[in-house]
Amino acid sequence: MNSDRVEEISALRAQKRLDRQAEAAAREAKLADEASSHAANMARIAKKMARIEAGNNAVAEAPAVVEAVAEAPAVVEAVKAPVAEPKAAPGNSTGKARGRPKGSKNRR
């Protein structure tokens, strides 16, 4: 190998080492950000659970709405007009068999 090639290889290895270090630093920063976000969420959930156990639940404080159920008036049957069945669109017959007729002599 010539010396230029060896120098290029060593420069590439050094660059790859630097790239790996930069990726590791970025990964560490991302994990730290996710950890802080997770800790904030867990603190919020713990605060909410403590409030629920203390009996200060906002949903429980709302007064229950009780409606008096009156008897339903007598149901009067309405006379309904006969409903016509929808007609199929022209050229869209669903009962027609597809393909070659059974008795056809045009077979392969």
Residue 11 lies in a domain: yes
- Residues of the domain holding 11: 3-57
Residue 35 lies in a domain: yes
- What is the number of domains present in the chain? 1
pLDDT along the chain (108 residues), means of 10: 89 96 96 96 95 74 54 58 67 67 74
Residue 89 lies in a domain: no
Residue 48 lies in a domain: yes
pLDDT of residue 47: 94
| Integer Cα distance of 51 and 43 in angstroms | 12
pLDDT of residue 69: 56
Residue 49 lies in a domain: yes
Burial of 85-108, coded b for 16+ CB within 10 Å and e otherwise, reads eeeeeeeeeeeeeeeeeeeeeeee
Vertex 29 angle, CA 27 and 34, to 5°: 95
